[in-house]
Structure formats: C-alpha cells, structure tokens
Amino acid sequence: MKKLNVGVVGVGAMGHNHVRVYTRLKNANLLAVSDLMKGTLAEVSKKYNTVGFVDYDNVLKMPEIDAVSVCVPTTYHYEVVMSAIEQGKHVLVEKPIAFTLKEAKDMVRAARKEGVKLATGHVERFNPAVLEAKKLLRDKLIGEVVSVSAKRVGPFPPRIKDVGVTIDLAIHEVDVMAYLLDSPVSKVYAHVGSRLEKCEYEDHAEIMMEFYNNAIGMLEVNWLTPYKKRQLEVTGTDGIISLDYIDQTVEIFGKNARNVRVPHHEPLMEELDSFLNAIMLDEKPKITGEDGIHALKTVLAAMKSAKEKIPVKIDID
C-alpha cells in the first residue's frame, strides 16, 4: 500500500492522539512533529521514534512531507494552516476550523488556490453510532425527521484555555445534526452562562436551532456535570433513534423498535484514514473546510444570540 508522509503540528492531548493513530495507519508514514512545549515534544518524539521541532516551520518546510494535522490552540489555526498551505501541504485542522469566520474563509480560498486538500477535524462524524444512525435515517426507519436533541456534558477540562463550552463542545453537535439532517442551520437561539471561577468563558449553553429542512435541533452542553455524557436522539413521525457516542450504541424506539448492532471503531482512526485516502484518490475530504465554516458560523451565531437575547438568522453562502 502506498504511504503518505505526514507531520503533526501541536502534540498536546489531541495532537498526541493524531501521532499515535498515524503510527498505526498502513497508509501513513509519520516523519516529524512540532510543539512549543519542549518537555511534551521530547516525550512524544521519543515514544514514537520521530523527529521533533519547537518551530513548526521546520516541519512544514520538509519537502518530503505530503500532509499535516494541525492540532494547536484555536487562536493559532489560521497562522499554521496558511503556512502549511503556502508550503503545498494538505491539511487536516482540528475543530473549530478557525477563530473567526474571515480566517476560515481565507483558509478555504487559499487551499483551493494552491490545489491542496483542507479537511476539518469533526471527529464525531466518524463515530460508528453516528454512521449507523445516518443509514437508518436514509432508510426512513423512523419516518420523517421532526427534531434532534443532544446532550454533551461533563467536568471542566483544564487544558481548554482559549474558548468556551459553545465552541469546544456544541460545535460537535452542530456538525453532526447538519450531517444527519442533510441540512444547514437557518436560525439559532441560545442562552449561555458562566458559573465556574476557573473558567474564563461560558461553561454552559442551551441552544435551539432551526434547519433549512424545517427540522428543529435542541442542544445542551456544559462543563458542570460531574460525569461525562454524550447522547443524541432523533425524533421522527414513526419513532426515535437514540445513540450514545461513548458506548457507540444505537437503539430504535417505536414502529421499528430494535437494538442496532454497531461495529466498534476508533473515530479518529477512521477520520485520519479517510483524510489520507482523499489525498491519494484526489477526492473531496469527507469533512471539508466549508463544513467547518458552517459549524463555526452556527456557534458564533449562538454566541451572538445569547449576548443580544434574540434569534439569529444564518444565511447560506
């Protein structure tokens, strides 16, 4: 099997996972990693027997590298991704795609101009439970979809320092709901708040969305719950599909009630494998930069809605 030479910029918690997965993929050859934290960099480089640089430009300037994962804090996405694109590298950037919409749109335009792939790391799309739910919806097992509700809650993660719970957690559900419904969000209304002294941003959010296909989405996210829960339900005219992201289980209630057998896979493994295959086959990535823009646009609209206490319409570009 042909292998692509890859690098990882940012090897903190998420970047470390990218490194681990790349070393296991048959279509990847990890050549180099980068991180500003010298201790973390040395640990990861030694563990995975790869070259490590403090300056990420050293990774991007390696002519043999075909693609990179960008796993730095969100505020640095634009700088690193644009540099990678200028060097002719294909890029998978972790969610959210960028800190601002302008940055995200500039990144998409630059990738298109340079002829490289730009994928956004919305890993839950590759969760086997989500993929199975998509098949069930396509087969109309619960009739016509009326609404989708999701709950993504858990304790505060100290490593998150540059964004609040809306951009960190709600963005997952926004992307999954749009994927399951085959429709972008048309309007959003949200309430957010902050109760934790150790969190500089909002630590809980309740969001209602209308989609262009007239379905409704309801979402609760927080960093207040002492246990982790990741669940989603789709209500249709003939039943409900209930999925658990963590257990990777799917159950149907109603007319076609059953427990659905779901083969378990690591979502990140599937995501990175898909990204590399898109490069080798010259296909559009499963989750594009445009998908990343939609998710970012929606959560930013939710923040605006919460601040101004009004519903916010979202236009399709």
Q: What is the pLDDT along the chain (317 residues), one digit of tens a residue?
A: 689 999 999 999 999 999 999 999 999 999 999 999 999 999 999 999 999 999 999 999 999 999 999 999 999 999 999 999 999 999 999 999 999 999 999 999 999 999 999 999 999 999 999 999 999 999 999 999 999 999 999 999 877 767 889 999 999 999 999 999 999 999 999 999 988 877 778 999 999 999 999 999 999 999 999 999 999 999 999 999 999 999 999 999 999 999 999 999 999 999 999 999 999 999 999 999 999 999 999 999 999 999 999 999 999 87
Please name which of 152, 141, 291 lies closest in space to residue 232, comparing C-alpha atoms. Answer: 152
3-class DSSP assignment, residue 120: strand
The whole-angstrom separation of Cα 196 and Cα 50 is 39
3-class DSSP assignment, residue 47: helix
Rg (Cα) of the chain, in Å, rounded? 20
Amino acid at residue number 126: F
Count of Cβ atoms closer than 10 Å to residue 287 Cβ: 25
Strand partners, 8: 33, 69
| Burial grade of 119 (CB within 10 A; 0-12, 13-18, 19 or more) | buried
Give, in degrees to the nearest 5, the angle at Cα 238 between 172 and 128: 35
Give, in degrees to the nearest 5, the angle at Cα 291 between 109 and 298: 110
Residue 180: the pLDDT is 98
Residue 158: the pLDDT is 76
Ordered domains of the chain (ranges, CATH): 2-115 (3.40.50.720), 124-264+295-311 (3.30.360.10)
The whole-angstrom separation of Cα 94 and Cα 295 is 12
Residue 218: the pLDDT is 98
The whole-angstrom separation of Cα 175 and Cα 100 is 17
3-class DSSP assignment, residue 182: coil
59 close to 9: Cβ distance less than 8 angstroms: yes
Encoded tokens for 28:
């990847």
Strand partners, 243: 232, 250
Encoded tokens for 202:
């909002």
β-strand pairing of 145-155 with 249-254: unpaired
Amino acid at residue number 139: D
